[in-house]
Structure 1
Amino acid sequence: MSAVTDSGLRQASRRKLLRFVQPTVALLVTFLLLGVPFWLVISTAGKNQAEALNPNLAPPSEWQLFENFAQVFADGRMLPAFLGSLLIMIPAVLGVLVLGSMAAWILARRSSRGLAVVYALAISGIILPPAVVTVVLLLRQLGLAGTPVGMIGVYMGMYLSTVVFFVTGFVRTIPKELEEAARIDGAGPVRVFVTIILPLLMPVLATATILICLYVWNDVFYALFVIGGRLDTLPLNLFQVASAGLYLQNWHLIFAYIILMSLPLLIVFIFAQRKIISGVTSGAVK
């Protein structure tokens, strides 16, 4: 009896130890994966040119973070690039949200084999990246190569699948009786969507908005091929000036530019992280 009691006590103490060790290890791993790169960026951005020549985790001997910010903003043409990013991002995000939510509403409310195939094709864009050469050649044929309209169209085509995926699952959780009651009162499809469905989609649309903004804001690959040399966005401008004489081997300025470029969306993400979690769990999981 005593041996059984001792074994039970050991198992209980082992479980208590695991309850303590597992979250501690998870927090340490998270801190290393996120905290170390973040500290590398901050510390390098606060150094002078000589200290930042070989980026490392050592703190600067004298912090000059805000001086580097001022130099980057003045000499790096950040304001035109910021306006260029807004010019591309805002229409692309609004367009993909409107078209994607309307398409998702139809796909969620009507069931048939044909629409099931359409839905599968619509969300296939999540895992099938667009071919850059084909996109550029098509834009040239349409006369949209090197234009903001062409870049907006590329982003809308790339991220429409994300909105359809999120919103379709969310719409299926909305009771159909709400729409039926509106139709009985004489509301047409457009009015039903605008007055009934769209307000209920705000949590998942907020999630999709933030995610797509992150994708578009940080993209340099597609922007380089579509509008490179004709319109500057922040990542594209960073790529260009980092290859030029201004930032050549000036890692403190490059990292300072990265911080300033990431700051607007970082602030939005901090204030909207609850909407991101609620939108993902309500839309994609359900």
Structure 2
Amino acid sequence: MSVSAAIRRPRPSRLIQPVSAIAIAVLLLGIPFWIVVVTAGKDQAEALNPNLALPSRWQLLENIAMVFEDGRMLAALAGSALVMIPSVLGVLLLGSMAAWILGRRRSKPLAFVYALAISGIVLPPAIVTIVLLLRQLGLAGTSVGLIGVYMGMYLSTVIFFVTGFIRTIPVELEEAARVDGASPMRVFWTIIRPLLTPVLSTATILICLYIWNDVFYALFIVGGRLDTLTLNLFQVASSGLYLKNWHLIFSYIILMSLPLLLIFMLAQRKIIAGVTSGAVK
């Protein structure tokens, strides 16, 4: 065997770490997913104690149909969409415009504003204060109040992602547009916003995931007044319909996860591009 061939051949010890990492990831992600799917395909007796065993007879479609008919999913889906879509659009718009200013102008006051803006990533909001404030504003128990809470919570995420990305965009593009007489808003919409598509796609899927699966803030702010998927699942899982019926609960979880799964599959390339080019930088 030649020396060059021996150098090119990877040593077995070098393969242990990546193979171990992949195996751990498969176990951590694959086992819960497998339990959800196989339990959703069982009948009530077999699903009483969720495990890794296959069902004696698959009835996944029957369970999903039962959940869709008896679980009020259409109304809950409309409620989740009513809250999530305006929240995501509003936080992307305001966050990207704020990040453009923070990423282009360098000064100590703006550096302090940037630090304050992204502090929401690590500082959890106080739910008691939020509820009291919404009551004073007359927005408690309304979808508008919940949308405002979500926008305030996740504005830091968008600013953090987009600011780093904007700093990689050549400033000469904006200067050329200003020389041609473009206003600041026109520069943003025609030059900056199209370039932000990858990083905004990444922020979109993350914020959609947070809002779609949120039950804590929705329960305290609009609980009992607006139906969302997570609130509906919490209510029906505590009622007689789904009590200890794990096959129906997991079927509901599968249905609830499908919209975000489709969004991720359609925007996968842009999400990965946003992570590698914007968030890391």
- Calculate the aligned-residue CA RMSD, in Å: 1.6
Structure 2 equivalent of residue 23 of structure 1: 18
Structure 2 equivalent of residue 235 of structure 1: 230
Give the secondary-structure state (helix, strand or coil) at the position aligned to 2:190.
helix
Alpha-carbon separation, structure 1, partners of 2:268 and 2:24: 21
Structure 1 equivalent of residue 52 of structure 2: 57
| Residue 143 (1) aligns with residue 138 (2) | yes
Deviation of 1:119 (Å): 0.1
Equivalent residues in 2 for 1:110-121, closer than 5 Å: 110-121=105-116
Q: Report percent identity of matched pairs.
A: 76
Structure 2 equivalent of residue 83 of structure 1: 78
TM-score by length of 1: 0.94
Structure 2 equivalent of residue 5 of structure 1: none
Structure 1 equivalent of residue 87 of structure 2: 92
Deviation of 1:21 (Å): 2.7
Higher mean alpha-carbon deviation, 24-33 vs 105-114, is at 24-33
* 1:84-136, Cα deviation, whole Å (9 max, x unpaired): 00000000000000000000000011111000000000000000010000000
Deviation of 1:22 (Å): 2.7
The verdict on how the C-alpha distance between 1:198 and 1:13 changes in structure 2, with shifts beyond 3 A counting, is: closer
- Contact 2:40/2:247 (8 A) holds in 1: yes
Equivalent residues in 2 for 1:118-129, closer than 5 Å: 118-129=113-124
Alpha-carbon separation, structure 2, partners of 1:14 and 1:198: 46
Alpha-carbon separation, structure 1, partners of 2:108 and 2:143: 37
Alpha-carbon separation, structure 1, partners of 2:96 and 2:61: 42
Alpha-carbon separation, structure 2, partners of 1:178 and 1:21: 47
Alpha-carbon separation, structure 1, partners of 2:147 and 2:236: 24
Structure 2 equivalent of residue 38 of structure 1: 33
* 1:108-165, Cα deviation, whole Å (9 max, x unpaired): 1111100000000000000001000000000000000000000000000000000000
Structure 1 equivalent of residue 248 of structure 2: 253
| Residue 106 (1) aligns with residue 101 (2) | yes
Structure 2 equivalent of residue 203 of structure 1: 198
Deviation of 1:72 (Å): 0.1
Amino acid at match of 1:217: W
Give the secondary-structure state (helix, strand or coil) at the position aligned to 1:258.
helix
Structure 1 equivalent of residue 239 of structure 2: 244
Structure 2 equivalent of residue 170 of structure 1: 165
Alpha-carbon separation, structure 1, partners of 2:21 and 2:266: 24
| Residue 74 (1) aligns with residue 74 (2) | no
Q: How many residues align?
A: 277
Alpha-carbon separation, structure 1, partners of 2:199 and 2:21: 29
Partner residue of 1:279 out of 252, 274, 278: 274
- Contact 2:90/2:151 (8 A) holds in 1: yes
Alpha-carbon separation, structure 1, partners of 2:15 and 2:111: 47
Amino acid at match of 2:32: P
TM-score by length of 2: 0.95
Amino acid at match of 1:53: L
| Residue 155 (1) aligns with residue 168 (2) | no
Partner residue of 2:179 out of 160, 184, 188: 184
Q: Gapped runs of 5+ residues in structure 2?
A: none
Amino acid at match of 1:196: I
Alpha-carbon separation, structure 1, partners of 2:120 and 2:72: 34
- Contact 2:197/2:270 (8 A) holds in 1: no
Higher mean alpha-carbon deviation, 268-277 vs 11-20, is at 11-20
Deviation of 1:19 (Å): 2.9
Computing the radius of gyration over CA atoms, which structure comes out larger, 1 or 2?
A: 1
Alpha-carbon separation, structure 1, partners of 2:37 and 2:191: 46
Give the secondary-structure state (helix, strand or coil) at the position aligned to 2:181.
coil
Which stretches of structure 1, 4 residues or more, deviate above 4 A after TM superposition? Answer: 11-15
The verdict on how the C-alpha distance between 1:93 and 1:13 changes in structure 2, with shifts beyond 3 A counting, is: closer
